[in-house]
Structure 1
């Protein structure tokens, strides 16, 4: 079981991901803004952070960058619906561990979570 923070402003998608993660025996919680997500990342340890690129307030890529600059070590799985081929590179430069384009199937999300947990040596 992993502790996972989902930072996604689309409430339907956010709740679907949290429900899926809980169904798959993870402890999951959600934040709907970049500010709330960054605050939660810094106040509580998580095994994985799922972070959307486009968030109200602070963009996800800036949240990731700020988290890393503050010493955050938790693996970050960045989500985006944008199709620019340079986005994956930008995410990695900002400190993301992995990248998942939208739309995605929930099984793909689970596979990516497992991958980042393995990369981090958590599972």
Structure 2
């Protein structure tokens, strides 16, 4: 076998290994229980939330860039995890949103989440749980 083919096979094997690590990381990071199902159901509202947060000039620039990168990933017709893979195939977008929301909430605070949430109060409770917060905001 020529050296060119060995390089191509090595690159392909490396890309496959990276992809498998990514799928394993998504599987480990996915929300537990029925929270993932609820997140997939709320995906349209989550997309509007990401867009609103990304345009909020009060948020740190790094946070807004992270949200724009997420919005770009969500807009791509090609998923990192193909839809024919059970469970993760359809849920990879919701998992990506949950991971980014956790980071955004740590940097911007839960007030930004509540301010920009376009959906119902029940939906906000689900999103708060996705972000690692209690379902209901503490009463003052």
TM-score w.r.t. the length of structure 1 is: 0.29
TM-score w.r.t. the length of structure 2 is: 0.27
Larger Rg: 2
**RCO (CA 8 Å, sep 6+): is it higher in 1 or 2?**
2
More helix by share: 2
More strand by share: 1
